[in-house]
Amino acid sequence: MKKLFFLLFFLSLSQIKAQDYFPTDKGVKTKDNKSFAFKNATIYITPTEVIKNGTLLIKDGKVVAVGKSVKIPKGTHTVDVSGKTIYPSFIDIYTDFGIAKPKRPSGGGFGGNQYAATRSGYYWNDHIRPETNPIDEFKFDSKKAKAMINAGFGVVNTHLHDGIIRGNGLLVALNPNSNNAYRILDDNSAQFLSFNKSRKSRQLYPGSRMGAMALLRQVYLDADWYAKGNMDNKDMSLEALNKNKNLVQIFETGNWLDATRADKVGDEFGIQYTIVGSGDEYERVNDIKNLNANFIIPINFSKAYDVSNPLLAQQISLRDMRKWNQEPSNLSVLSKNGVNFALTTHNLKSVKSFHKNLQKAIKYGFDKEKALAALTTIPANIIGNSTIGNLKVGSHANFIITSGDIFDPKTIMYENWVQGDKNVINDMNIRDITGDYMLSVNNKNYDLSIKGKGAKQTGTIKIGDKKVKSKFSFKDDWIAITLNEETGYTRMMGKVINASNVMQGTAFDSSDNETSWSASKKVKKEDSKKKKDSKKKKDANIPEVLPVSYPNLGFGNYTQPETETILVKNVTVWTSEDAGILKNTDVLLKEGKIEKIGKNLSSRRATVIDGTGKHLTAGIVDEHSHIAASAINEWAQNSSAEVTIEDVVDPTDINIYRNISGGTTSAQILHGSANPIGGRSAILKLKWGENAQGMIYENTPKFIKFALGENVKQSRSPNGTRFPQTRMGVEQMFTDYFTRAKEYDALKKSGKPYRKDIEMEVIAEILNKERFISCHSYVQSEINMLMKVAEKFNFNVNTFTHILEGYKVADKMAEHGVGGSTFSDWWAYKYEVNDAIPFNAAIMHNAGVTVAINSDDREMSRRLNQEAAKTMKYGGMSELDAWKTVTINPAKLLHIDDRVGSIKEGKDADVVLWSHHPMSIYAKVEKTIIEGKVFFDRQEDLKKREAITQEKSKLINMMLKEKLGGAPTKAPMKRKDRNFECDTLEELKN
């Protein structure tokens, strides 16, 4: 701590003064004159404030004056930069400059058993490290600095990229000629966060994205509790977090979905994160815009795929191919939507590609003024430092001198001054001699063409179309040319005269005869008309960007379906109500609801569907699904009540579309079964194309997953050691949690202060009958046990899911009032399902239990109608009762039967039109309608297939063109198939 105050103290003083008292053994004490004036320049004070023919005066590292008429004091070094442009140097506020990535502890390997934190005096979770102060590890990296300077950067913000809360940042001027005492502009510039775990610890928790989100929430609650003096222990993490509360909070995310997730957590605690994006924000720019966050955006564009091998090319998904085509438009899209963002070199393999990528983004329509702002004023503003990113009086003398428009590929960047110290990128004194010349020597004329920048300018010589063997060099303002012709060598030396339009000098032929040579520049005449044309052409030159669909992959929607008034005529209606099956009936859907069921209905403006020979049912409800989520198990602790699948709903999962193609319209996305107390559910309507929030039920019933048996005992895990390892332990674990939650709730209700604990809040909701349990269960002993535990705590278990031995305790279940949501015929895959029988549903049903058939499988969830039919085969359920097992019964179990699950007037218009009897093996879905919107239509689906084929072939051609044009490509990649099941464990990155 002391060290920091020390440092800050000096920073606040003038730098010259600080130098003064440092002893020297290098000779007599001298002091450089550090004032410079640059005159006749175009000066960008800010991206919007530009002076032509102005003067920039700097002294001791600061801007002293800038303007059209600046008085230059005596003794100032004056540089005439006429024709050149001066910009503020760039700022990158998201780097790891000078801070090495920590190494992982050796040994261990994948997984491991580290449940507890490895430190004391800090927060209980090793991945929360707000106390990290990177100044201890900071080493100015001259090599990296040089690369950044050459790319135009003057200041970077850096931090240790490690952990979920990562500690504070350093704002560093890239001044290799100075030392840390001067170039560290701020040693507490921001606080950093991410969804990635620390490499310094193998502590298992959090094991998933949703765990990381829950952890962040609990940390904020605990920090508040700590700040109020309620903890009797010392916690340096929470102290640091509270201390840095008012800094800008920068959150790194890996994709736009994670950006919305991070923002959601921040909003809950009144924190507006600045979000480090990933470059895919264009996919959902409206959602991104609505976050109202500042963004830091990388421009790491992917290479085209090498599609020359057609077999390999087939493996690339349209989603990945589109990314290549669409992502260069990201900055343009963000900017046009008014998103405030800074740019970063983060994620770039080499800083060198930064300008190339930025130029590409500009080519795709990104405004240059916005680009400059995104590199100067916006990052300065985000980081809260007004003395960088502009050339106002008093600001740091960080500026770039260029030959012109800095975003033009032809422009030469000459110098990048940082804190008033010069860094040469390209020697400004090297004349630009590029152009086409007519070279005359020995009465012969040649075409000389000079290209390149600075010292790297090279010339090629031709006669007509024929190239002449030659050597060209340009050094110290001298031009040297050697011609190698059949007639012999000609050597020439010379200089440029006459403002670079003419060069002349002496030449020697192969016989060493001296003569003279000259070259004069061919001046291209550009009339104004041509210029106009070329401007027009430039606009037309914006490369083709294929439209974004929602979600942005094959079968996505370009526009979302609208609520229609639909009249289905003369159809067989499966009501899932007492009315049973109504033949030759009409159903009117209006304003998203089932308006009327009857005969001979009519409605003006309704889209009429002829249902003759077809069947209309309520949309299928799947009580147990794991689709549409980025994580399923927070497996690293035996209870994870604090997490919720709602945090990680993934609306881009193709399985949503495949489910509606099979008539499933609602699904409970359950947490997995890795631990006895799992996480909270997300109950979704499978509205393909909407965002996560749009799919979650309004006023959604509250559910939580519990689990019993082999999975929670870690029966198949080689590392299984955590409590509980037996069914006996599971009972005690539940009893413990419910007991504690009861005490917690009592304290809370008493009005006395209490430490808010998300996990306890959730479990107390169960005790208060506000939240329902859906419990993964197999054998009768454990089923019976949980009912007895619940009864002891005076509540009922809502649903046993899987419940494969439910038939053995069906009478007890009916008495307790719990529902059973089971597989139709799965068994024999593990020991605890040895006695699973397909007659289970029928037996439970006959005993008075509300029975549903669920999938727990993204494949089965698209044909639950067939699974329902199996209850007729096994145990002889009636077809009406069988159909209820996938419609009204699961809706009842999920407490959404007031909205869905049957065809009844006033309910949501969630219906499916089938080609056959819905439980026939031959039934196909014709249309799936959710809230009066047609989300799946067989005919539309055929069109989508055709469109995918065409778009892929178009993209393949574009990529082939790119490859033949010489651009580097990358190997085709097949998407990793996501298959979340009950026991799928996400491994959170670290």
Partner 1 sequence: MFFFLMTSINAQQTPAPKQSNAISIEGATAHLGNGQIIKNSLVMFANGKITFVGSAMAKIARQGTVINAKGKHIYPGFIAANASLGLAEIDAVKATRDFDEVGAMNPHIRSLIAYNAESKVVESMRPNGVLMAQTSPRGGTISGTSSIVQLDAWNWEDAAFKTDDAIHINWPGSFTRGRWWLGEDPALKADPKYGKNIDNIKQYFMNAKNYLASNKEKTHLPYEATKGLFDGTQKVFIHTSGAKEITDAVTICKDLGIKNIVIVHGDGAESVADMLVKNNVGVVLDRPHRNPNNEDDAYDYTYTIAKVLIDKGVLVCLGMEGQMERMNTRNLPFYAGTFAAHGLDKEVALKLLTSNSAKILGIDDKVGTLEVGKDATLFISEGDALDMRGNILTKAYIQGRDISLETHQTKLWKRYANKYKSK
How far apart CA 272 and CA 262 sit, in angstroms, is 10
Q: Is the Cβ of residue 554 or residue 819 nearer to partner 1 in the bound state?
A: 554
- For residue 658, state whether it binds partner 1 (rule: CB under 8 A): yes
Q: How many residues bind partner 1 (CB under 8 A)?
A: 71
Q: Is the Cβ of residue 140 or residue 827 nearer to partner 1 in the bound state?
A: 827
Taking the complex as a whole, the smallest distance from the CB of residue 307 to partner 1 amounts, in Å, to 13
Residues 539-578 that bind partner 1 (CB under 8 A): 553-555
SS3 readout for 830-894: CHHHCCCCCCHHHHHHHCCCCEEECCCCCCHHHCHHHHHHHHHHCCCCCHHHHHHCCCHHHHHHC
**Options 63, 156, 654, 988; binder of partner 1; rule CB under 8 A:** 654
Residues 939-968 that bind partner 1 (CB under 8 A): 941, 945, 948, 952
CB 655 within 8 A of CB 628: yes
Residues 849-908 that bind partner 1 (CB under 8 A): 858-860, 862-863, 866, 869-870, 872-875, 879
- Amino acid at the residue 86: I
Residues facing 448 on adjacent strands: 437, 461
- For residue 810, state whether it binds partner 1 (rule: CB under 8 A): yes
Residue 937 CA: distances (Å) to CA of 607, 661, 924, 927 = 14, 8, 11, 4
Taking the complex as a whole, the smallest distance from the CB of residue 209 to partner 1 amounts, in Å, to 18
**Options 269, 478, 723, 831; binder of partner 1; rule CB under 8 A:** 831
Taking the complex as a whole, the smallest distance from the CB of residue 602 to partner 1 amounts, in Å, to 34
CB under 8 A: which stretch of 267-275, 596-604, 741-749, 825-833 binds partner 1?
A: 825-833
How far apart CA 989 and CA 280 sit, in angstroms, is 20
Residue in the structure block whose two tokens are 């279940």? 813
Give long-range contacts, CB 8 A cutoff, 24+ apart: 111-117. Answer: 111/719, 112/202, 112/204, 112/719, 113/204, 113/719, 113/721, 113/722, 114/201, 114/202, 114/203, 114/204, 115/203, 115/204, 115/205, 115/636, 115/637, 115/722, 116/203, 117/201, 117/203
Q: Is the Cβ of residue 268 or residue 859 nearer to partner 1 in the bound state?
A: 859
Q: Is the Cβ of residue 252 or residue 710 nearer to partner 1 in the bound state?
A: 710
Q: Identify the helix (H) or strand (E) that includes residue 616.
A: strand 615-618
**Options 413, 923, 930, 988; binder of partner 1; rule CB under 8 A:** 923
**Options 96, 369, 432, 835; binder of partner 1; rule CB under 8 A:** 835
Q: What is the DSSP letter of 716?
A: T
Residues 254-313 that bind partner 1 (CB under 8 A): 309, 311-312
Count helices and strands in the chain by DSSP H and E runs = 26, 45
Q: Is the Cβ of residue 747 or residue 872 nearer to partner 1 in the bound state?
A: 872
Taking the complex as a whole, the smallest distance from the CB of residue 207 to partner 1 amounts, in Å, to 16
Residues 788-807 that bind partner 1 (CB under 8 A): 807
Residues 709-728 that bind partner 1 (CB under 8 A): 710, 715-716
**Options 449, 846, 969, 984; binder of partner 1; rule CB under 8 A:** 846
The three-point CA angle 822-826-832 to 5° equals 85
Residues 106-135 that bind partner 1 (CB under 8 A): 110
**Options 166, 590, 808, 884; binder of partner 1; rule CB under 8 A:** 808
Q: Is the Cβ of residue 696 or residue 814 nearer to partner 1 in the bound state?
A: 814
Helix runs in 276-391, H state only: 285-290, 310-313, 318-326, 330-336, 353-363, 368-375, 377-383
Write the DSSP assignment of 210-260 as a string of letters.
HHHHHHHHHHHHHHHHHHTT--SS--HHHHHHHHTTTSEEEEE-SSHHHHH
How much of the chain is in helix, strand and coil states, percent to nearest 5?
30, 25, 45
Q: Is the Cβ of residue 661 or residue 850 nearer to partner 1 in the bound state?
A: 661
Closest by CA to 419, choosing from 188, 624, 185, is 185
Q: Is the Cβ of residue 392 or residue 830 nearer to partner 1 in the bound state?
A: 830
**Options 101, 531, 599, 974; binder of partner 1; rule CB under 8 A:** 974
- For residue 828, state whether it binds partner 1 (rule: CB under 8 A): yes
- For residue 825, state whether it binds partner 1 (rule: CB under 8 A): yes
Whether omega for the bond prior to residue 543 falls within 30 degrees of 0, making it cis, is no
Residues facing 171 on adjacent strands: 157, 186
Taking the complex as a whole, the smallest distance from the CB of residue 790 to partner 1 amounts, in Å, to 22
Q: Is the Cβ of residue 301 or residue 914 nearer to partner 1 in the bound state?
A: 914
- Residues comprising the chain, all counted: 990
Residue in the structure block whose two tokens are 């651009």? 967
Taking the complex as a whole, the smallest distance from the CB of residue 139 to partner 1 amounts, in Å, to 25
Q: Is the Cβ of residue 757 or residue 983 nearer to partner 1 in the bound state?
A: 983
**Options 91, 649, 843, 958; binder of partner 1; rule CB under 8 A:** 843
Closest by CA to 384, choosing from 222, 526, 249, 280, is 249
CB under 8 A: which stretch of 369-377, 395-403, 656-664, 896-904 binds partner 1?
A: 656-664
Taking the complex as a whole, the smallest distance from the CB of residue 805 to partner 1 amounts, in Å, to 9
**Options 920, 969, 984, 990; binder of partner 1; rule CB under 8 A:** 920
**Options 424, 837, 880, 960; binder of partner 1; rule CB under 8 A:** 837
CB 704 within 8 A of CB 678: yes
Tokens read off for 569? 């005529």
Taking the complex as a whole, the smallest distance from the CB of residue 298 to partner 1 amounts, in Å, to 20
Taking the complex as a whole, the smallest distance from the CB of residue 619 to partner 1 amounts, in Å, to 16
- Amino acid at the residue 197: K
**Options 318, 692, 730, 775; binder of partner 1; rule CB under 8 A:** 318
